[in-house]
Every structure is written in structure tokens, then in C-alpha cells.
A and B are shown apart, each in its own frame.
Chain A
Amino acid sequence: MEKKTRKIFLFIMLLLALATAGLAQAGPGQYTEEAPLGSWNFLGPETAVILGAGFCQIARVGSSNAVFANPALLSLLPANSFSLTPSFNQTQLFRYWLVNTGVVTTSGNLTFRNWQVDHIGLSHRTGRWTLGLGAALSENYGRPGLEYRYVYNQQVYNQLQVWQTGHLASYGLSLARQLNRHLSLGVSLVYERGRIERSLDEFWFQEEIQMIDYRYQKITGFRVLAGLSCSLNDRLFFGLSLTPPYTRRVKGESSLKYISALTEIETTGQASDRVRRPLILGLGSRLVINRSLEAYLEAVFFNWRKYSFTYFGEEQARDFRNTIRVGTGLEYRTNLLFLGRTWSTPYFLGLAVDQQPIAEHKSTYVFLTFGSGIGNEIFRLSFSTAIGLESGSGQKLKRQKIALTLDIHPGPRKNQAGIIR
């Protein structure tokens, strides 16, 4: 039976790997106005444990980040859990806004770097019910800032400065219930709130003329997420995650100004926009190969063809294709004697293929991920990195993320499934 299960798992893994090889295509151009940095495809925050093992999080009991990926997994956590994940991100962009679209040309890709808190969350179990709470940084809208100067005969004639910042935070509340030893269900209600702010400031020194283009958008949204977790036997586990389509509301304000010695002209605008977000459906599996080794495989489908976006009152054309993000990972655990105590030290290795939705460019990132950690029954510190190489855009964009996660499980107790994580 064990051998059979393993064979089935490996066969599915092989099929998916072949499928993604066929789907893998290349392309940049994903940096439209509303594009999040790195990837359009967001399921849940990537803690170090998840990042290291190929982004797999639908069938894998990690931490309270399950609020955003598969709330059913909360039932399988220890009775109380707390998790905190900061990360460092490097994302390359080539074409965005007025950069490399005709106004400002760069000799190569530009890199946006930032530190951020990806996730903070906790969970508490009472009987068969588990409550989860969490906050996550789901999207970052920052862009590399730019300052351009036209200098002739040591005199500055024209100066252009552009910057863009912004993010989307998600606040989730989940309730999960373990129905029996094999099956758990969970539902999350996620409130989203964020902003995008951008500014262009241009100055012509000879004429003393200034142009300012400033835009501010406030984003809010509300989505529901349902999850399921089931174990076929002691070795094979499956998870399902479903986010139905939902709408984000965006309130925008803009000011376009022209200032000279003789005049000041301002055009202001307000808008109430809507962004129709796609259905997200994820399926994941976990295979316990032996006491030290586990393998994960998951695929997440994003129905981007149904995506629509209005910007300051006008529907913008978005030729999007549906995408699938596929991840696979391994976790190998050993023990280590340190300070007179036995510590668990996991090692993660993963691979992920992340298609981007813009049909024109057919951009895809391929990620290699790895990480490690140290912990005992009460706390665990994990660190991982993911290095992604993009193809399809012709620009060979790169993306890197380093995540550090602290998990605390005060008063560890066995969960209903008898599993200690």
C-alpha cells in the first residue's frame, strides 16, 4: 500500500512537471499600473517554511498563515500558535509606467529592493474548532524610483523625478473544524486594504516651468476563502483551496499641474473604480516518505481571463490568460544536540513554475527555493530563499526573496489528528 501510494504520488508529480514544461513561456510587460511586484499570483503569504519548499502551502501544515491559503489546515496546528515572517525582496523590472515605454530608457533592468513584514498571525483551538487571525502583506506596488537630468555645458536644463509606492494588506479571520480524523474544513473572511501613490515631477530650469502629476488610490476589498484538508492514510494528505471571484473597490484622486511664472493650471480628478479579481483554485498534496522526509506538490489555478480593471473611471484593456502556478518541494528533518537540548533542524528544497497572466508577453518565472531552520516543541526559527528567473519577456528578469519566520507554539498539545508539528 505504501509503495503504491508513493508510485501514485510520483506519477502525478511527473505528469504535472511535464505539463508545466509545456506551459512554461516567457515575457515581461507584467508591470501595468496595478501590477504587484514579482508575481500576479498570490495565494497566501510565503513564510520561510513555505518559500523553501517550492511555495507549497495548501496541504502542508505550516503556521497560522493557513488563514490565507487553506484555513482547514488550522485544525492541524498545535492548540496555540503564533507566527511572524519578515522578508527581504529583490525584484527586477524593465518596462513600467514611463520607463522603457518611450520616455525614459534604461540600459538594463532596474531593481526594486525592500524589507517587509509578510505575515503575522495566531491561532487557537478549542475542541474541534480552531480560530485563526492574521495580517499579511499580499501585494507591493512599489517601483524603482528614478531621477533623470539633462545636462549640457555643465548646466541642468531638465530634471525628471518619478516614484511609486504602495501595498495591499490582508486581514483574515478563519474558523476551522476538524470533522473527523481524516477531514477538516475551514473558511476565512479576508478584508483587504491598501494604497498606490505615485508622483512625476518635471522641471525645466531655463523657463522655470514645472509639471507635477500626482495620483493616489485607496484600495479596499473583501473576499471569502474556503479550504479542505483530508488524509487518505497516514502518509498521503490532500488540501483544497477555493477563493471565488470578488471585487476590489478603488477610490482615486489625481492632480495634474503646470506651473510657470505666468500661470498655474491644474486638472484634478476623482474616481471610484472596481477591480474584478479572479477565481483561485488550488490543489495540494503531501506525502510522508519516512519519518525524516516529506514531499509536497501543488497546483494553483488563477482564472485571470475574467479579470477586469478600471482606472480613474475607464475600463482598461487587459489581455490576460489563465495561469497555473505549480510548486513541488521536499523537507528533510534531522535532529541536532545544542545547548544540552535536542533541536529539530529541517532542510527545504523546492521548485516552482509561476506563469504570469499577460497574454502578449507570456512571461513565466521558474523558482529554485531552499532553506533551513531550527526549533523545538515551543518555537521554531526558519529561513529560506527563492531565486526566480523569468523567461518570455526577453529581459530575463530576476526575482529573489529571503524570508525569516518565527513560529511559537506555547503549551504544545497534540491536535485531534494526533500529529505534532
Chain B
Amino acid sequence: MKKKVNYRQRLLLLIISGLMVWLSLTEADLSPPAPMEVIALDRNTDLQTLRLSFPLDPLLDDGQKIYLLVEKKYLETIRQAGYSFSLETSRFLTPSAPGWRQWLRPQGGLNGDYHSYQELASKLKTLAASYPALARLYVIGRSLENRNIYALKISDQPGLAEDEPGVALIGCHHAREWISLEVPLLIGKHLLENYSRNSQVKALVDAAEIWIVPLVNPDGLEYSILNYRLWRKNRRLNLDGSYGVDLNRNYAYGWAYDSLGSSPEPDSAIFRGTAPFSEPETEAIKTLFQTRRITAAISYHSYSQLILYPWGYVDQPTEDELLLEQLAEDMAALIYQVNGRVYQAGRAASLLYVTNGDFTDWAYGFYRIPAFTIELPPVDLLQGGFWNAEEDIQPIFQENLPAALYLINWAISSYYGTGDTRGHSDRFFNRGLEKEEENIVKGRPGAAFKGKESR
């Protein structure tokens, strides 16, 4: 009798255990992600046939080899099929590196094809790792919430501070302007991927130092993705309990010139901060300019389809009005040729509205370099305002690419004093800098960044 009771209890226990195991199996995905490897094949390999036979994910083409992401289980079969390849997994990321899983993870979170801070960091590291001879990744500062502000330097000798003109392509001062991050990032990617097969790109990269700073405001961008799409400022907790400083009103030139072009009120969308460069994010850009020979710059924003040049703080022409206007109009014409989209060119204060303490006034005002704000599409609120469809990222990048290349080319010509820019060169580079910055700027060649980060 006693044995019978025990048997029943055991049976009950078995049923319960089985039930629980089944329950866990229905919810848990027990199959781990397949282990992946990166292989490199000669560029002349018949990839068409290979891709028909195996599931491959092209990773990059460095001009000599094609790098493909492939499941480990196919390696032997590919080898047996007669393909010669080398394993390059460790060159990119080691499986134990924190970024590995993220790198393999499919995109498509809350922000779709747009980049978040983490996605951008991963992409920049991959680019720098993939093109060690052309790119080097720097951390030029950290945000209030301790996120890195990255600068990707693209040049033929990225490890050296050469006597070459620097061009800064800067994005995402304003958190909600997601497209303004994508354009400089894609320009940088284009330069790296096309260096070996496009002679124009090669000439530009060889003769200049191009600084890609896609994300000035990482904290704001994260807030915009996670909490409120229309967030604009950084994430400074102001004294009155409000949040944020408008980073594009926090630069020193013309700072607080009036309360139209920026606001002293902390809860305003254009709050200029408590002092010029009060924010670590703008301080990072200042550091970049102080320590590198930047000779032209574009700051990407959205929306309106405009190319703006100084001054913004007052509706008066600079002494280089004609040149700045010419450059802006040339860029607008190049943009128009790609997709037929019209970008109006003009002085910031008259074409858009007065802004004081913005990046472009500061870059021109202190460094006397041509600096532009490009307001990317769409043209107005009804066509999307701060929104761009994911499928518009590529067309917007494509149309802005020739304009950026044009400015880089102009900077090179101007710097070396060739062609019809000779006069401009004299005007821009033999002129004294604004007194306040002069002493700092004199010491910039070779100066090292804080927190330098390489691949």
C-alpha cells in the first residue's frame, strides 16, 4: 500500500516536471545564434556563383579584398568548393568584445534605419578598424551623461598631423534632426569605401584631413529616441528644473548678442546656456578646432533645404560675403544636379532667422574659415519637418555628397594656393585670428586629444 502511494507521488512529480519543461521550451529560444566568421577573398573571385551557393553577407570592400560575413559551418564547404580565403574575424572584432553581439544584431529598433548613439559608435569603430590606413577614431570629448563624442579622421596618414587643410563635417547639434547625423557619417563611409577606386576621392583624402563628427549631442539624441522625438537641446538639468541647452547657441562668437537669436530663459528651446562653451559637447568641438588645422566646415541641420553662411547673429554681410555666397551657391547647384532638389543659399540672418552663439558664426568669426550650415530636407513642416522617411536617407546623402566634396576640394586648393582660389587662400590664412583665440590656436599642430581612442 505504501509503495503504491509513493508511485503515485513520483508519477505526479514527473508530470509536473514534464509540464514545466515543456512550458519553458515554448517560450525559450534554445537555439543560440549561429557562430559567424569574417572571410576575405580576392576581389577577382566569382562572387556571384559563391553567393548563389552560400548565405553570405558582404561586409566591406577595401579595394583589394572583399570581406564577407558567413556562418562558421559553411567554411569547410566553401573551401572544398575551391574558393581560397583567409579568416579575418579577429581583424574586425573579437567574439568576446562587447561590441560583437551588437555588430551582428539586426538593425531596426525604435529609430529604424537611423543610428542611435550605440549604433553610431559601433559603426565608427568598424569603419576605423576596416580602414586602418585611412581612418582613425578619436574621442574629442564627453557629453554630460558621459557619452563619447566621436571624431573620425580620414586622411592618407591618419596617425600623423600633416600640413594639410582640415575640413570638419559636423552633425546632430540638435537631437531631433536625425538626418543630420546620417549625412556626415555616410560621407565619411563613402570616402573610405571609394578611396581605392575613385581617383577624385583619393586625391581629396590624400591632400586633406577630413574630420567627421556625426553626433555632437548624443544625450539629446538618446532622449529623442527613447522619450520624445522632438527633443532639441542637450540634457543639462538647469537651475530652474528645466532641461537642456541649445548647443547651437552655446558657441562664443556673438554669444548672447540679443535675446532674439538665443534665449536667456532655461526652458526656452533656444536657451544659450549660462556662458559660452558652458556645455561639454560644444567644448569638444572647440577642442577639435583648437588642436587641428580646420580650414572649412559644414554643420548639418534640418529642415528647410538651405545653405547658410555667416553672419547669423546680425543681418550684415561679412567681409567675405561674396566668397561665402559663391561657395554656397556652387554647393546648392551641385545638390540640385543630383535629385533636382532646390537648396536656397544665403546669409543665415536674412534667409532663416537671427541666431547668436551658433557654430557657423563661431567657426568663421574666430577662425576666419568658410563655415556653412546646411539645413537638409524636407523643405517645410507639411513635408515632414524633422522627419525623413528611412528611404530618404540615401537620396539626401547622395545629393549632399558632391557639395561636401566640392568644399573639401576648395579647402585643398585654397590651402595650397592653387588655381583660382589663390586669392582666397591669402585672405583666409594670412589673416590674424580673433585675439581671444589666437594664443590657443598657435599651439595646435601635433597637440593630442584627451581620451584618444583608436580602433
- Partner-B contacts on A (CB < 8 A): 33, 97-98, 100-103, 105, 126-127, 129, 131, 173, 175, 189, 191, 200, 202, 207, 209, 211, 213, 215, 220-222, 249, 254, 256, 258, 260-263, 265-271, 311-315
Residue A249 contacts which of B5, B12, B27 (CB distance < 8 angstroms)? B27
Closest A residue, CB atoms, query B2: A127
B243 touches A312 (CB 8 A): no
The yes or no answer to B228 lying at the interface (CB within 8 A) is yes
- Which of B9, B19, B29, B241: most chain A Cβ within 10 A? B9
The yes or no answer to B337 lying at the interface (CB within 8 A) is no
B228 touches A200 (CB 8 A): yes
- Kindly list the 6 A-B residue pairs having the minimum CB-CB distance in the complex, ordered from nearest: A102-B243, A313-B109, A267-B112, A312-B109, A258-B387, A189-B20
The yes or no answer to B116 lying at the interface (CB within 8 A) is yes
A24 CA to B229 CA, complexed, in Å: 37
The yes or no answer to B453 lying at the interface (CB within 8 A) is no
Known contacts A222-B24, A312-B109, A313-B105; can you find 15 more A-B pairs with CB under 8 A? A101-B243, A103-B228, A105-B267, A189-B20, A191-B27, A200-B228, A209-B385, A256-B110, A258-B385, A260-B382, A260-B384, A268-B112, A313-B107, A313-B108, A314-B118
- Which of B119, B228, B233: most chain A Cβ within 10 A? B228
B13 touches A105 (CB 8 A): no
Closest B residue, CB atoms, query A96: B227
A191 CA to B23 CA, complexed, in Å: 8
A262 touches B228 (CB 8 A): no
How many Å from the CB of B268 to the closest CB on chain A? 12
A102 touches B231 (CB 8 A): yes
Closest A residue, CB atoms, query B26: A220
The yes or no answer to B64 lying at the interface (CB within 8 A) is no
Q: A175-B16, A267-B111 are in contact. Are A314 and B116 (CB under 8 A)?
A: yes
A360 CA to B233 CA, complexed, in Å: 22
Which residues between 219 and 237 of chain B lie within 8 Å of chain A, taking CB atoms?
223, 226-231, 233, 235
Q: Interface digits, B240-280 against A, CB 8 Å rule (1 contact, 0 not)? A: 01111000000000000000000000010000000000000
Q: Please name all residues of chain A whose beta carbon is closer than 8 Å to the beta carbon of B389 when the two chains form the complex.
A: 265-266
Q: A126-B9, A265-B388 are in contact. Are A103 and B227 (CB under 8 A)?
A: yes
Please classify how large the interface on chain B is, using the bins under 10, 10 to 19, 20 to 34, 35 or more.
35 or more
How many Å from the CB of B417 to the closest CB on chain A? 46
A220 CA to B28 CA, complexed, in Å: 9
A102 touches B242 (CB 8 A): yes
A311 touches B226 (CB 8 A): yes
A200 CA to B224 CA, complexed, in Å: 13
The yes or no answer to B439 lying at the interface (CB within 8 A) is no
Residue A207 contacts which of B20, B111, B382 (CB distance < 8 angstroms)? B382
Closest A residue, CB atoms, query B391: A265
Q: A260-B382, A314-B118 are in contact. Are A270 and B23 (CB under 8 A)?
A: no
- Which of A102, A105, A268, A311: most chain B Cβ within 10 A? A102
Closest A residue, CB atoms, query B13: A175
Q: Please name all residues of chain A whose beta carbon is closer than 8 Å to the beta carbon of B226 when the two chains form the complex.
A: 33, 311
Q: Please name all residues of chain A whose beta carbon is closer than 8 Å to the beta carbon of B19 when the two chains form the complex.
A: 173
Q: A263-B382, A265-B389 are in contact. Are A102 and B108 (CB under 8 A)?
A: no
B111 touches A269 (CB 8 A): yes
Which residues between 382 and 403 of chain B lie within 8 Å of chain A, taking CB atoms?
382-385, 387-390
A269 touches B110 (CB 8 A): yes
The yes or no answer to B160 lying at the interface (CB within 8 A) is no
How many Å from the CB of B72 to the closest CB on chain A? 22
A388 CA to B259 CA, complexed, in Å: 46
Which residues between 196 and 238 of chain B lie within 8 Å of chain A, taking CB atoms?
223, 226-231, 233, 235
The yes or no answer to B381 lying at the interface (CB within 8 A) is yes
A270 CA to B107 CA, complexed, in Å: 9
Q: Please name all residues of chain B whose beta carbon is closer than 8 Å to the beta carbon of A202 when the two chains form the complex.
A: 230
How many Å from the CB of B394 to the closest CB on chain A? 15
Residue A211 contacts which of B114, B116, B229 (CB distance < 8 angstroms)? B229
Q: A105-B241, A211-B229 are in contact. Are A220 and B27 (CB under 8 A)?
A: yes
How many Å from the CB of B232 to the closest CB on chain A? 10
Q: Interface digits, B418-443 against A, CB 8 Å rule (1 contact, 0 not)? A: 00000000000000000000000000
A97 CA to B28 CA, complexed, in Å: 30
Q: Please name all residues of chain B whose beta carbon is closer than 8 Å to the beta carbon of A191 when the two chains form the complex.
A: 23-24, 27
Q: Please name all residues of chain A whose beta carbon is closer than 8 Å to the beta carbon of B112 when the two chains form the complex.
A: 256, 267-269
Q: A127-B5, A314-B118 are in contact. Are A263 and B384 (CB under 8 A)?
A: yes
A263 touches B5 (CB 8 A): no
Q: Return 23 A-B CB contacts under 8 Å, by A number.
A: A33-B226, A97-B227, A98-B228, A100-B241, A101-B243, A103-B227, A103-B228, A103-B231, A105-B267, A173-B16, A189-B20, A191-B27, A200-B228, A209-B381, A222-B24, A254-B110, A256-B111, A256-B229, A258-B384, A262-B383, A311-B226, A313-B106, A314-B118
A44 CA to B357 CA, complexed, in Å: 56
Q: Please name all residues of chain A whose beta carbon is closer than 8 Å to the beta carbon of B384 when the two chains form the complex.
A: 258, 260, 263, 265
How many Å from the CB of A236 to the closest CB on chain B? 31
A200 CA to B226 CA, complexed, in Å: 12
B385 touches A102 (CB 8 A): no
Q: Please name all residues of chain B whose beta carbon is closer than 8 Å to the beta carbon of A270 when the two chains form the complex.
A: 108
A98 CA to B226 CA, complexed, in Å: 9
Q: Please name all residues of chain B whose beta carbon is closer than 8 Å to the beta carbon of A207 when the two chains form the complex.
A: 381-382
Closest A residue, CB atoms, query B233: A102
How many Å from the CB of A200 to the closest CB on chain B? 7
A101 CA to B231 CA, complexed, in Å: 11
Q: Please name all residues of chain B whose beta carbon is closer than 8 Å to the beta carbon of A215 when the two chains form the complex.
A: 110
Q: Please name all residues of chain B whose beta carbon is closer than 8 Å to the beta carbon of A258 when the two chains form the complex.
A: 384-385, 387
B381 touches A213 (CB 8 A): no
Closest B residue, CB atoms, query A261: B382
